[in-house]
Amino acid sequence: MKLYYWLVLIPFIGMLGGAVLFNQVTPYVFGLPFLLFWILLWIILSSLTMLVIYQLDKANGLLDREENES
């Protein structure tokens, strides 16, 4: 259990906690109501969070060896 695994909580808190705080239509961002924009932003950030965790795992040699992965 690595300490940086706790990073995974950030998307949950950011997306859901943020939604409670920013439950509003304005300002529109990219034409979207703010609440919708906020959630979409966190979809991208959750993907980035996992990328960070994956890279940290890779750096620590915690990934399984690839078996002829296509």
Partner 1 sequence: MNIALLIMLGFLLLSLYLGLMARRGKDMSMEQWAVGGRGFGTIFVFLLLAGEIYTTSTFLGTSGWSYSKGGPAFYILCTSSLSYLMGYWLLPPIWKYAKEHKLVSQSDFFATKYKSKGLGVLVAIVGVLALLPYLILQFKGLGIIVSQASYGSISPTLAIVISVIAITIYVSVSGIHGSAWTAVMKDILIFGIVVFLGIYLPVHYYGGIQPMFEAVNEAKPDFLLVPDTGMSFSWFISTTLLTVIGFSMWPHTFAAYFSAKSTNVFKKNTIIMPLYTLMLPFVLIVGFTAILQVPGLTGSDGDLALLKISIQTFDPWMVGLIGAAGLLTGIVPGSLLLMAASTAIAKNIYKVMFPETTDQKLSKVAKTIVPILAIVCMFYAIFNSSTIMTLLLMGYNFVTQLFPALLASLSKSRFFTKQGAAAGMIVGVSMVVYITLTGLSVADLFPGLPQAIQELNIGFIAVFLNAVAMLIVSFFTSKRDVPVNSPGLQKEA
Interface with partner 1 in residues 13-52 (CB under 8 A): 15-16, 19-20, 23-25, 28, 30-33, 35-36, 39-40, 42-44, 46-47, 49-51
Mask: binding to partner 1, 46-65, rule CB under 8 A, as x and -? xx-xxx-xx--x-----xx-
Rounded CA-CA distance 49/69 in Å is: 24
- Mark out the alpha helices in the chain (DSSP H runs): 9-12, 18-21, 34-59
**Which residue, 3 or 64, has its beta carbon nearer to partner 1?**
64
